[in-house]
Chains A and B, each alone.
Chain A
Amino acid sequence: MRKLILLIEDDELIMDVYTKALEDIGHFETEVLKKGQDVLKWIDEVKEGKRKKPDLVLLDLILPDMNGLDLLRDMKKEEEIKDIPVFILTNYTSKQMEEIGMKLKSEKYLAKTDFTPRELVEMIMERLKV
């Protein structure tokens, strides 16, 4: 059974790199959302049971229309979604943001440039016990 990873990221290239890294392994399938609006719609669809729940969410903080932390807050409010582990994957490194992210119950706050895609995939595999 392949695990579903939801990737919330707006940069095309970065999205491509991560989806390739994840899908090549064979354990994962990916779903991508590029805008905050899309994520809100997705939340509603998951609540209505129209979408498959992902096993892990990779969340970028800087999206074209919204702040990723607001989306995280919205996600953690919904019964069906709040237990899905979230890794914040961003290029914005600030202690304040990190604190807020952790307070909002994200499991990790990672800077994209600190990890190769491989290392990220390993982290995910460890977390999902694959």
Chain B
Amino acid sequence: MMNQKNKKLIFPADTHDIVMIVRTTIELIVFVIFVFLSSKIFWLRKFPQLEGLKIGVSAAFSFSIVFLIWVIYKKFQGKSTKNVINLEAIGDAVLIIWLIFIFGGMNGPFFFFFFLSLMETAFTLNLGAILIVAIMGIFSLIGDYIFGVTRGVSVLDIQSLFFLFFRLVSISLIAYYGYSFAKSIGRERKAIVRARDLTEDLEKAKSEIEKAYEVEKEAHKELKRLDEAKSQFVLATQHHLRTPLTSMYGYLDLLLEGRYGKVPEKIKEILGRFQKSTKNEIKIVNELLNVSQFQMGGQVVLLEPNIGIESILKEIIEEIKPEAENKGIYLKMEEFSDIPEIQADPQKLKIALFNIVDNAVKYSDKGGVTVKCQISDNKLQIMIKDTGMGITKGEAKELFNRLFERGEKAKKLYTTGRGIGLFIASHIIKAHQGKIWVESEGLGKGSTFYIELPVE
């Protein structure tokens, strides 16, 4: 902020140059005109007998004005509201006009200077201030015309030395005023140039950002395309794998129901095996599609509130019980109470828990499987304990891995196992923000699977 004796100039350098040229030209013209005019009326001589009074009054007035100016600047030092600028401008104008008045009027340096300030005022202040300054100028001209000498000699009519001193002061004032004005213009121009440079940099930065944005958009589009391709793939595989299975399954069911006529017993048996195979195939396809959906990063679970674990576990036990009974092992659920409902995807959670219980049954040929539920540390804990073949420490770590390779004994015990049941289960549990792990005392000593799920 320029807190000098000049006003804020708000034009770009180009307009500035024009202003400078114009005002200089006008000032020169005006100066020449009035020098010419004043030389014509040099014969005016007014009131020489009031010399002493004139000196006194003039001096007093001079000091008052200078004091006033000083007060104004001191009081509003640094401030730059419109009113303050107006005030300062008017103060300057008053000083200049007074100096015009006592130092040769139209002939003196301050008259030249007066137009300088008037031009400046015209460009930076409002009309009111310009009018005030102009009117004061006119009055001073009138006053000078009536009272003053217009031949380059001051109205004080003092001795040359004193006169010289005042002349020096006036020239210094002009120099200072001119210098500070020029400096302000220079500064303004520098600021404008800097602003231009900044704008250029900004433009460059903007185009860089735009370029980066374009790249980002392309990447995003590509991701979307990939995502869609994945979904298309999933969709296509689901459709193509399941469509023939649907009609196979359907026709078998209708056949076995006798909708196409009575079926001989032997055929019925064969069809029954066919149906069992088909059901198995459907199960395998479902598992495969689940795994591929996980791999594709698709949404694994859809959480619903208020899901009761008890009913899910009961269903699972009902479904697996026949197989357990066939093997001569028990499958039971310990009574539990006060198990809160949780947020879960009931279908997926059932799959996960089913896989674990199913595994427990498959890998036990004596004893049995117990399912327990409890609250521990504000988490719902489900424990599935079996008296089966157990797991080694090494296996325990890899058990939930997709590529987990079962041991020879395990393969013998459960020949049709595919090894991805636990992988799917762990994925589902993780998607529920839960934890799953297994503890076993070693081969032949059974194992306990732990599933922990958060409670709201």
Contacts and interface: CB of A to CB of B under 8 A. Distances in A.
Given A13-B247, A112-B246, A117 B253 contact: yes
Interface string B325-357: 000000000000000000001000000000000
Interface string B231-244: 00011001100111
A56 B39 CA distance: 115
A24 B235 CA distance: 32
A14 B254 CA distance: 12
B289 A93 contact: yes
B126 to A, nearest CB: 65
Contact of A113 (B254, B282, B300): B282
B301 interface: yes
Contacts of A99: 302
Interface stretch (A15-23, A33-41, A70-78, A122-130): A15-23
Interface string A80-98: 0000000000011111101
A56 B192 CA distance: 77
Contact of B285 (A16, A18, A113): A113
A91 B299 contact: no
A116 B239 CA distance: 18
Contacts of A13: 244, 246-247, 250-251
Nearest to B260: A20
A113 B245 contact: yes
B249 interface: yes
Question: In which size bucket is the chain B interface?
Answer: 20 to 34
Counting chain A residues whose Cβ lies within 8 A of the other chain, the interface size class is 20 to 34
Interface in B275-305: 282, 285-286, 289, 293, 298-302
Contact of B299 (A21, A24, A95, A117): A95
B250 A14 contact: yes
Given A91-B243, A113-B286, A62 B250 contact: no
B259 interface: yes
A99 B289 CA distance: 19
Nearest to B240: A91
A92 B243 CA distance: 10
Contacts of A21: 250, 254, 259
A67 to B, nearest CB: 10
A116 B238 CA distance: 18
A14 B250 CA distance: 8
A17 B251 contact: yes
Nearest to A17: B250
Given A92-B235, A113-B245, 4 more contacts: A14-B247, A18-B250, A118-B253, A118-B257
Q: Which 8 A-B pairs have the closest CB atoms?
A: A17-B250, A13-B247, A91-B242, A116-B253, A95-B302, A112-B246, A113-B282, A117-B250
Interface of A: 11, 13-14, 16-18, 20-21, 24, 62, 91-96, 98-99, 111-114, 116-118
13 contacts: A17-B254, A91-B242, A92-B238, A94-B234, A94-B299, A95-B299, A95-B302, A95-B345, A96-B298, A96-B299, A111-B242, A114-B282, A118-B253
